[in-house]
Structure 1
Amino acid sequence: MKRIIKALGVVTLPLALAACDMAPKYVRPAMPVPAVSPQGPAYVTANGTGAIMPADTAWRDFFTEPRLARVIETALANNRDLRLAVANVEQARAQYRVQRADLLPTVGATGTATYSEQPLVQFGQPQRLNTDVYQAQVGISAWEIDLFGRVRNMSKAAQEQYFASVENRNAAQTTLIAEVANAWLTMAADQERLRIARELEKAFGKSLELNRARFAKGIASELEVRQAQTSHDQARSDIAQATTLVAQDQNALNLLAGVTVPAADLPDMLPSAGVTLDTLPAGISSDILLRRPDIASAEHQLRAANANIGAARAAFFPNISLTAALGTVSLGLSGLFSGGSETWSVAPRATLPIFDFGRNKGNLRYAKATYEAMLATYEKSVQTGFREVADALARRGTMTEQLEAQTSLRDAARVAYTLSDARFRAGVDSFLTTLDSQRALYGAEQSLLATRLTRAGNMVELYRAMGGGLK
């Protein structure tokens, strides 16, 4: 028993001394962006009244259109890219568990039986000596005692890589939600574009029939007929193009959803309101960027690189490993566990690199260079996130005025077309005036639709850029 206690003491004493960490102390880098979002004529004055923080708002609460919410839920359950991100998380978790296991000794049990026969001369007579040796033991083999933190830093690096994979999965989710929302809104806009083209095609068709009738009676010229036909043919072409776009939009939405989206969840037109909440903040602190999963992932990568520096530094110091065994040995199987058969052994081993021809220095330089690369990646992620938020805020700041102007322009073009058509039918103006009014109305309808789509997409982008979509 005393020998066993002594052996355990030999094992546990180095553990008590293992408190050295060669990794540099990690300090979060200063954010290389302004402290607050930009201010200026393109931005709405910050007003926190009733505003919600995207990172604290569940996507089911933000997307208020029921059909869109159902499509997003379907995509989160079936999208293959998101499944791949989840699988990557499981891989990183398994690798971390493997690396963490090196911190503790691997205990194994072995049992052996040796049968030997040797020649023996006894009393001048040759004989054969048969020997049977049975042995059973429990022990640890080549366990590295982590005096200088090499194994701990490698384990920490693997842990940070695991955390980074989790954040990458979260980033994939926020991106997927935004992509599904934009695809759904694009399909809605193309559906409405198709409706506008069909309505104007009918109006242009009536004008074409009227001009053909006037030409047959000798009232109108062939030029007026051809001019009317150009508008009618353009509308027909736009109908064909919009029909194709709607089909392609549906294919894109099915790909994102991972399954065929039910017809009941597809949009028939772009809603004028009620797709998303409209109470996002106008100005934010740059610290909110730290809640974005892509930036959090970049920081975990930076922490992992910092831990790898510690592992590379520890390689310059002695590597101490321990092999120990406790068991029993006997010349007969029946006496294997009898008194007096106990055996134990402890074999510490220390190795110190003397000449490695620059291998350890190269590994350390590589670890430091990797840290610098991860630092640049982290800072660029912060700057990219800041720009995305700033761009979305700039777009939002002028969107209301632009939407009002486009709506007024469309209304004016519609009235102008109605008046010019009435004057043409009364014989007051030529058809050229009516044709210009038709084309102006068509362009105004398309521009207003594009502005409405931009506004809806801007709310989605602002929600994503501010870290929304995880809940």
Structure 2
Amino acid sequence: MLSTQFKLALSAISVAVLAGCVNYAGIHAKGKLNTPQDIPSETVLDVHAPAAVNWPQDKWWEKFEDPQLNRLIQDALASNPDIAEVQARMDRATAFMDYANADRYPSVDAGAGISRSRLARSDDYAGLGNRYITLRSLDVQFGYTFDLWGGKRAAWESALNRATAAEVDVQSARLNLAASVAKAYNQLAFSWELLDLSERDLDRLEKMLTLSKQRFKLGLDNQSQLKLVEGLRNRASAQAIEGRNDIEISKLQLATLSGKGLDRALSIQRPQRMKPYVDGLPSNIPAELLGRRPDIVAARLRVEAELKNTDAVKADFYPNINLVASVGVHSLIGDGFFDSVSKFWRIAPAVTLPIFDAGRLRSTLRASNADLDVAIAQYNKTLNTAFHDVGASATQIHSLAGQVSEQEKARASTFESFTLAHDRYNVGQDSFLDYLNAERQLISDETQLALLRSKQVDASISLLVALGGGFRTAH
């Protein structure tokens, strides 16, 4: 009867203890991962880029067929400090992953020691004191915390996802760096083309100034007209100087991006004109883009990392078992060190159960869920930005194609007008001034055309980056 009553009491106490334990009821994340269906974009993408093309391939910059550009990008990927920084972050994340993995396994430590001491009379059983003893010890200690609820594995998986995200960050940094070099190279090509046009305009105004001086001496023009032409000539000269400066600045930017020092700029030659080679979008972008943009993949991995971290925190709410054991020898007698009387062993299992912690565990879980919500929000933002990048680049390419087409027609008409003015001047039907004015409009149209073509190349590079630049996740 007593035994039955004792069992009932023990059961009641157990239920009460478990009921009073810390729990995580009511704590959960609030965020929701968006999908491509949550941000419909197919109609806009189809309208602005109807042509179906393949996804970009790795080393997409080789499509520009410029060996100098290839070397500059290779130098940048090998030597730019930005790449070294993200690689160091990847190494750090990998180290934390290895640490979390090691925490799942038992620990074994060995110790050895020797000590010499003088006994006080109060410590001497014989009551004599003034005795000296030498203690020799050798032991092996074993420790293990059982992962009953999967908390340690979840912590390791969380660290694994963070390390993988850091690895993907390296690919993202490489993609953005290659794009920066390609755009800077395109700017250099445009600056050189602009300088050619500026020098042509300067030459035109030099001739116009010579003619104006002659007309002033003959009384055909007044001083105001002469000064106006002088001002135009000086302005053109300043633009030519600025053009040369733009070339040097672009070279220095490329040298800095390459990570090879400013002297690298001295070996950079005039680029050939770059031509865009992307004029459409691949099919099935909403589904495919998620696995082809490194920033999206990294953001998703960080969401998975926070999910696993939340699981690890929840495991701390449950009871767990620790096991500590040791075996070895202690001896006061040197020649009896390994005798049976010197040997010892100890095993100490322990059960831990959180009952009251003033809200520490619940606060930790709330913080973990908040981190998860942050990761989800960042993923949704990254996904939204990715579709914007694709749409904006495709729209710009579509618009620039129309602008270039119209500007080419304008340039063709202006060139025809310039040719007619040249012919009329040769037969004496127009003045040299009329001929120079026709050339001015031609230079203006060619400058605008060069600008639009440069923008086309930049938009093409932006679209390549927006489509992931050949990245393809294996995760």
TM-score range, shorter chain: 0.7 to 0.9
Q: Distance in 2 between matches of 1:151 and 1:214?
A: 92
Q: Give the AA of the match of 2:286.
A: S
Q: Give the AA of the match of 2:50.
A: T
Q: Is the CA contact (8 Å cut-off) linking 1:109 and 1:139 kept in structure 2?
A: yes
Q: Residue 155 and residue 37 in structure 1: after superposition, are their counterparts in 2 closer, same or farther (change >3 A)?
A: farther
User: 1:297: which partner in 2?
Assistant: 298
Q: Is the CA contact (8 Å cut-off) linking 1:187 and 1:246 kept in structure 2?
A: yes
In the alignment, structure 1 residue 44 sits paired with structure 2 residue 49: yes
User: 2:464: which partner in 1?
Assistant: 463
Q: Is the CA contact (8 Å cut-off) linking 1:37 and 1:286 kept in structure 2?
A: no
Moved more, 374-383 or 96-105: 96-105
Q: Distance in 1 between matches of 2:249 and 2:396?
A: 27
Q: Distance in 1 between matches of 2:440 and 2:357?
A: 79
Q: Give the AA of the match of 2:388.
A: R
CA-CA distance at 1:170 after TM superposition: 1.1
Q: Is the CA contact (8 Å cut-off) linking 1:396 and 1:458 kept in structure 2?
A: yes
CA-CA distance at 1:354 after TM superposition: 2.4
Moved more, 319-328 or 459-468: 319-328
SS at match of 2:415: helix
Q: Residue 151 and residue 121 in structure 1: after superposition, are their counterparts in 2 closer, same or farther (change >3 A)?
A: closer
Deviations 1:99-154 (A, max 9, x none): 221111221001233555365687xx95766554433211224x432222332222
Percent same amino acid among aligned pairs?
Answer: 26
Q: Give the AA of the match of 1:136.
A: L
Return the TM-score normalized by structure 1: 0.83
Q: Residue 217 and residue 279 in structure 1: after superposition, are their counterparts in 2 closer, same or farther (change >3 A)?
A: closer
CA-CA distance at 1:195 after TM superposition: 1.0
Q: Return 5+ residue gaps in structure 1 as ranges.
A: 1-21
Q: Return 5+ residue gaps in structure 2 as ranges.
A: 1-24
SS at match of 1:186: helix
In the alignment, structure 1 residue 250 sits paired with structure 2 residue 255: no
Q: Is the CA contact (8 Å cut-off) linking 1:197 and 1:239 kept in structure 2?
A: yes
Q: Residue 40 and residue 162 in structure 1: after superposition, are their counterparts in 2 closer, same or farther (change >3 A)?
A: closer
Q: Distance in 2 between matches of 1:318 and 1:198?
A: 82
Q: Distance in 1 between matches of 2:423 and 2:61?
A: 49
Deviations 1:215-269 (A, max 9, x none): 2122344454344334322321210111121111111111111114756863525
Q: Residue 27 and residue 127 in structure 1: after superposition, are their counterparts in 2 closer, same or farther (change >3 A)?
A: same
User: 1:33: which partner in 2?
Assistant: 39
User: 1:440: which partner in 2?
Assistant: 441
Q: Distance in 1 between matches of 2:406 and 2:109?
A: 78
Q: Distance in 2 between matches of 1:229 and 1:158?
A: 70
User: 1:7: which partner in 2?
Assistant: none
Q: Distance in 2 between matches of 1:460 and 1:272?
A: 11
CA-CA distance at 1:40 after TM superposition: 5.4
CA-CA distance at 1:324 after TM superposition: 1.0
In the alignment, structure 1 residue 337 sits paired with structure 2 residue 342: no
Q: Distance in 1 between matches of 2:104 and 2:282?
A: 49
Q: Is the CA contact (8 Å cut-off) linking 1:154 and 1:308 kept in structure 2?
A: yes
Q: Is the CA contact (8 Å cut-off) linking 2:278 and 2:460 kept in structure 1?
A: yes
Deviations 1:31-60 (A, max 9, x none): 33327473455x23233xxx3321x43336
Q: Residue 80 and residue 301 in structure 1: after superposition, are their counterparts in 2 closer, same or farther (change >3 A)?
A: same
Moved more, 322-331 or 364-373: 322-331
Q: Distance in 2 between matches of 1:233 and 1:442?
A: 17
Size of the aligned set, in residue pairs, is 440
User: 1:285: which partner in 2?
Assistant: 285
Moved more, 363-372 or 113-122: 113-122
Q: Distance in 1 between matches of 2:32 and 2:438?
A: 65
Q: Residue 227 and residue 284 in structure 1: after superposition, are their counterparts in 2 closer, same or farther (change >3 A)?
A: farther
Q: Distance in 2 between matches of 1:127 and 1:404?
A: 108
CA-CA distance at 1:441 after TM superposition: 2.5
Q: Distance in 1 between matches of 2:49 and 2:166?
A: 36
Q: Is the CA contact (8 Å cut-off) linking 2:175 and 2:465 kept in structure 1?
A: yes
CA-CA distance at 1:209 after TM superposition: 0.9
Deviations 1:300-349 (A, max 9, x none): 11111111211221222224322111223334233333456442211122
Deviations 1:335-390 (A, max 9, x none): 33345644221112233222222221111111111111111110110110111111
Q: Residue 127 and residue 95 in structure 1: after superposition, are their counterparts in 2 closer, same or farther (change >3 A)?
A: closer
> RMSD between aligned alpha carbons?
3.2
User: 2:67: which partner in 1?
Assistant: 66
Q: Residue 257 and residue 106 in structure 1: after superposition, are their counterparts in 2 closer, same or farther (change >3 A)?
A: same
Q: Is the CA contact (8 Å cut-off) linking 1:52 and 1:279 kept in structure 2?
A: no
Q: Residue 208 and residue 331 in structure 1: after superposition, are their counterparts in 2 closer, same or farther (change >3 A)?
A: same
User: 1:320: which partner in 2?
Assistant: 321
Q: Residue 287 and residue 334 in structure 1: after superposition, are their counterparts in 2 closer, same or farther (change >3 A)?
A: farther
Q: Residue 46 and residue 412 in structure 1: after superposition, are their counterparts in 2 closer, same or farther (change >3 A)?
A: closer
Q: Residue 317 and residue 232 in structure 1: after superposition, are their counterparts in 2 closer, same or farther (change >3 A)?
A: same
Deviations 1:412-452 (A, max 9, x none): 22333444466578776688866754443332122111111
Q: Residue 60 and residue 239 in structure 1: after superposition, are their counterparts in 2 closer, same or farther (change >3 A)?
A: closer
CA-CA distance at 1:200 after TM superposition: 1.6
Q: Give the AA of the match of 1:458.
A: A
Moved more, 388-397 or 279-288: 279-288
Q: Residue 70 and residue 284 in structure 1: after superposition, are their counterparts in 2 closer, same or farther (change >3 A)?
A: farther
Q: Residue 438 and residue 216 in structure 1: after superposition, are their counterparts in 2 closer, same or farther (change >3 A)?
A: same
Q: Residue 467 and residue 37 in structure 1: after superposition, are their counterparts in 2 closer, same or farther (change >3 A)?
A: farther
In the alignment, structure 1 residue 101 sits paired with structure 2 residue 107: no
CA-CA distance at 1:175 after TM superposition: 0.3
Q: Residue 66 and residue 324 in structure 1: after superposition, are their counterparts in 2 closer, same or farther (change >3 A)?
A: same
SS at match of 1:38: helix
User: 2:13: which partner in 1?
Assistant: none
User: 1:185: which partner in 2?
Assistant: 186
SS at match of 1:326: strand
CA-CA distance at 1:190 after TM superposition: 0.4
User: 1:266: which partner in 2?
Assistant: 268
Q: Residue 327 and residue 213 in structure 1: after superposition, are their counterparts in 2 closer, same or farther (change >3 A)?
A: same
Q: Is the CA contact (8 Å cut-off) linking 1:24 and 1:310 kept in structure 2?
A: no
Q: Distance in 1 between matches of 2:28 and 2:104?
A: 20
